[in-house]
Amino acid sequence: MEKTVSEAIAYRRSTRVYQDKPIDSEKVKQCLYNASLAPTSSNLQLWEFYHVTNKNTLNKLSEACFNQNAAKTAQQLVVIVTRKDLWRKRANANIEFLNDIYNKPDLEERWLKRKKMAINYYKKIIPTIYTDFLGILGMIKYVAFQIVGLFRPIYRQTRSSDMRIVAHKSAGLAAQNFMTSMAAIGYDTCPMEGSDTLRVKQILNLPRGAEINMVIGCGIRDQEKGIYGPRFRVPFEEVYKTI
């Protein structure tokens, strides 16, 4: 029986050693579809999910992940990739979607206004934020926005490095959707930051603009060696703030 959200979150642990037991690729694919439903900044969906089942590629990726057990014993690997370089394509996809759903002859005025506002956002605001040239435009925008921010609230993340962080935050949300979905069906995962990301890109033949967010080992935990120890969290009262 599939676990509830709370049960899946409680069940999920970073599994370092997996059983030598196959897992269903179609089920993993469905969990990746769930990942694609995660919240994402401006709905740009600047991510890609690489589902690796080929043994030769698994071995190469394991080596790029320093042959740590979470990669070496994984039955499958998932690589979460950010694609900030695709912002124009994804913005245009949003515009096409908006034009399609609002393509009605008798559209009410309030929906016409909403359509115009949304399309202007993707045609004007997104290019203003994402357009850059060697980091120079981003810094100019950053300084200008900081000055405007002295007088009123304003969006301040305009540098290329800021937008990279935005893309990686969205990818992290997708990764969590994926791992929770895997836990819900009794599959285990381990998100790994420890990897030679350049080699991972080369193995997957990724373009220059792609960046590795994380590599996730997938399988079924070894009941004795899979989890390295009891779960530790700092006291909740230490991180929970009420205002």
Domain boundaries of the chain, sorted by first residue: 5-86+162-224
Q: In this structure, how many other beta carbons lie within 10 angstroms of the beta carbon of residue 45? A: 19
Predicted confidence (pLDDT) per residue in 53-65, tens digit: 999 999 999 999 9
Cross-strand pairs, 77: 52, 217
Rounded to 10 deg, the angle between the 87-101 and 109-120 helix axes is: 170
In the CATH scheme, what architecture does the domain 5-86+162-224 have? 3-Layer(aba) Sandwich (3.40)
Output the pLDDT for position 148. 84
Instruction: Supply 55's token pair.
Output: 């043994």
Radius of gyration over every alpha carbon of the chain, rounded to an integer in angstroms? 21
Tokens linked to 40: 């994402």
Looking only at Cα atoms, what is the longest distance across the chain?
64
As a whole number of angstroms, the distance between CA 97 and CA 100 comes to 5
Give the pLDDT score at 48. 98
In the sheet that 188-192 helps form, which strands lie side by side, from edge to edge? 47-52, 76-82, 211-219, 188-192
Residue 170: predicted pLDDT = 98
What pLDDT is recorded for position 82?
98
31's CB contacts (< 8 A; 6+ apart) are 178, 181, 182, 185, 187
pLDDT at 159: 86
- This prediction has a pTM of 0.93
Give the pLDDT of residue 56.
Answer: 98
Backbone phi, psi, residue 21, to 5°? -140, 125
pLDDT of residue 156: 85
- 10-residue mean pLDDT series, the chain (243 residues): 96 97 98 98 98 98 98 98 97 96 85 92 94 84 85 86 94 98 98 96 97 98 95 97 96
pLDDT of residue 107: 80
The secondary structure of 157-221, three-state, reads: CCCHHHHHHHHHHHHHHHHHHHHHHHHHCCCEEEEECCCCHHHHHHHHCCCCCCEEEEEEEEECE
